[in-house]
Structure 1
Amino acid sequence: MTDIAIVGGGLAGLVSALGLAKAGLRVVLVEKKVYPFHRVCGEYVSNEVLPYLRALGADPALLQPAAINRFMLTSPKGKALFAPLDLGGFGISRYALDHYLYQVAQQQEVQFILQQTVQDVRFTGDAFTLQLSGGETLAAKVVLGAFGKRANLDRQLNRPFFQARSPYLGIKYHLRYDAPRDLIALHNFKEGYAGISAIEDDRYCFCYLTTRRNLKAHRSIAAMEQAVLCRNPHLRRIFEEADFLYDQPEVINEISFAPKTCIENHMLLCGDAAGMITPLCGNGMAMAIHSGKIATDQVLRYFREGLPRPQLEENYRRAWQQQFAGRLQVGRAVQQLFGSPILSEVAVGALQWLPPLVRLVMRQTHGQPF
């Protein structure tokens, strides 16, 4: 029996695995793909994560990320506002960052089971049994669920958000483009918004969220981009001038921002499995890393202090809610101001004259260095 089984090898899963293994626990992580691989993600990370990553021996500076310290927001008609990013952040592809964390975790003797999924998780006798897609079983004292935005385990756990279809889909490209490398820009369009920011190797991540209705109305991604996104002049310039580096974009369906729980069947859930902030707020990667730290801290207390399992779960729930519940709520509220062309124009126009409000929203959706 291993001490910790982690389901999913994204940022939350990798950071948890690294922290727990570094503390001397036996950790097994199950990931359905093989590193490195791309994910649909905005690929901007708030600098709040840097002290913790450095403490884990995983300083992202080795990957030469782009340093980002300015923010731009545009309305569907192209009206723009600018603001400084007080804490700042960095741009790095998930392809590079996840692979790097995987390599560092291997050095800490994390055991990886790749190209398999967890089909079922049973909790009996104060321990877990995981059924893997390859036919094997895995026994663990603690299970962390870091399986992302939407997974088959969500269906098996009968989680409420999984029962209702989400209207959103996400689309991502990497590209080369002539734009400031210290700027993250969010461009609104009808029923969606797009983000563009620099990453490593003189490239940019261009990722947008829209609705299935938008796609269905135009029958293809390319047609939708020309008919809808390009009405924003800033987006039109990207499509006309950028060198797109993918033959086809990365796409993910059924993105849900509905409230979720951070405990299911005695598993501690972290990252997007526990709750997803709207991409408009641009801080999902930092939240995933922070949730991995919170899970690590509480699991270490559980083993070191001999806590009963109900106390572990309550401590984790309380810490998670304290750190993230407010951010997610603000993110959902902010999203309501965008997507509608009329509301977006009004919101950007008003925020142009209220710089303190822009910075307040940023502070409410970002954390402090940890």
Structure 2
Amino acid sequence: MVSTEVVIIGGGLAGLTAGIHLSQKGISVTIIEKNEYPKHKVCGEYVSNEVRGYLESLAIPIQSAEPTAINQLEFETLYGARILQKLPLGGFGISRFTLDFIMYKKAIENGCTIINQTVENCRFDENHFIIETIEKSIYKAQIVLGAYGKRAQLDYSLKRTFIIKKSPWLGVKNHYKGQFSDNLVGLYHFKGGYCGVSKVENDTINICYLTNYSSFQKYKNIASFEKEVLFKNKRLKQILENSVQIFEKPLTISQISFEKKEPVSEHMLMIGDTAGLIHPLCGNGMAMAIHSAKIASELCVLYLNEKKISRNELEKRYSKAWNLNFKKRLAMGRVLSTILVQQTLTLLVLQIVVLFPFVLKQIIKRTHGNPL
């Protein structure tokens, strides 16, 4: 059995951020991540500037990747109605392949231990955690942060309520070479979903879309679905027909759930998508993951280093801070996901957005936070 102060289950954006923050404060951290780095993930790959200052405070060399600077949003409906909206804070485009690898190297530099295994069980006993992996490794920790993503087998053993409900959403992502403005993030509506387009580093276009699985399964494969459904949006058709695919095949993820999740489960602090997933149409998931890691890390420092709060207070404060910062944003995301399932309602809402552009501005405002 290996003892450490903090075990982080999952080494994605939230997990790595927390590992870097905590190790910077002299806390021993073990991150257990099932995949090796670097790795592509289904993701919009746009990061709001609200977290940029925080990332710089952690000395994470984001600029070394030369990310794109994004300050405009282009929104276009299936029927060609278009809005161009300035993003109040703006953000940057960077692939998860690159960003996660940069953060992985920083975590190692800070002294984090990173283990490529899969957690099978985590139990709380006598004020500490026992974590067991499928590979039969056992770890003991004072704190566990859950950062293992949208859904995992561990959710079943923790008996989290959202995991038993089937979700209709499927995500598809691919990288391309082609023509698209560096400073623009595009959101393009198609029947049964929407597609996000933006540039990341190396003059690469990230195209990532979310669709209702019932719509998708009518077609033989992704290529057929895109030609028959996505191409109905003329702007999206133009982008795709004039771009060259980089990946051998698209990445996919199914059962994407926007159901409510608990920020604390069995004394484990949940961060990132493990605590709550905002609809990608809101364009703020990566920043929220980073922000949640900051909140959890700061409270862990109070508990472990400064001994200023009890475990009960740690959990109460985290739940309160999570709800204060993200509850309303997630609620907006759930409203959007509900709307997109219903085609008639979708068209009505999109018409309202086009006729009254300030509605889109309000959605952006309600799903983004202030600079950290």
Give the TM-score of the pair, scaled to structure 1: 0.97
CA distance in 2 between partners of 1:176 and 1:347 (Å)? 33
Deviation, 1:222, is: 1.3
Q: Where does residue 123 of structure 1 map in the other structure?
A: 124
Deviates more, 1:270-279 or 1:233-242: 233-242
Trace 1:1-370 onto structure 2 (pairs within 5 A).
Answer: 1-114=3-116, 116-303=117-304, 304-338=306-340, 340-370=342-372
Cα root mean square deviation, aligned: 1.2
Deviation, 1:342, is: 4.0
Query: CA deviation digits over 1:320-352, x for unaligned, max 9?
Result: 111100100112223344454544443333223
Contact 1:74 1:348 in 2 (8 A): no
User: What SS is found at the alignment partner of 2:154?
Assistant: helix
The AA in structure 2 aligned to 1:68 is I
Contact 1:188 1:338 in 2 (8 A): no
For structure 1, the 5+ residue unaligned runs are none
Contact 1:327 1:364 in 2 (8 A): yes
Query: CA deviation digits over 1:197-245, x for unaligned, max 9?
Result: 0100000110000122122111311111111111111121123111111
Query: CA deviation digits over 1:286-320, x for unaligned, max 9?
Result: 00000000110111111212422111110111111
Contact 1:80 1:348 in 2 (8 A): no
CA distance in 2 between partners of 1:148 and 1:238 (Å)? 30
CA distance in 1 between partners of 2:264 and 2:343 (Å)? 38
Contact 1:79 1:345 in 2 (8 A): no
Contact 1:189 1:341 in 2 (8 A): no
Query: CA deviation digits over 1:241-283, x for unaligned, max 9?
Result: 1111111101111100001001111100000000000001011
The AA in structure 2 aligned to 1:67 is A
Query: CA deviation digits over 1:169-190, x for unaligned, max 9?
Result: 1000000121211110111111
User: What SS is found at the alignment partner of 1:154?
Assistant: helix
User: What SS is found at the alignment partner of 2:151?
Assistant: coil
Contact 1:75 1:341 in 2 (8 A): no
CA distance in 2 between partners of 1:344 and 1:180 (Å)? 27
CA distance in 2 between partners of 1:92 and 1:30 (Å)? 24
Deviation beyond 6 Å, 4+ runs, structure 1: none
The AA in structure 2 aligned to 1:269 is M
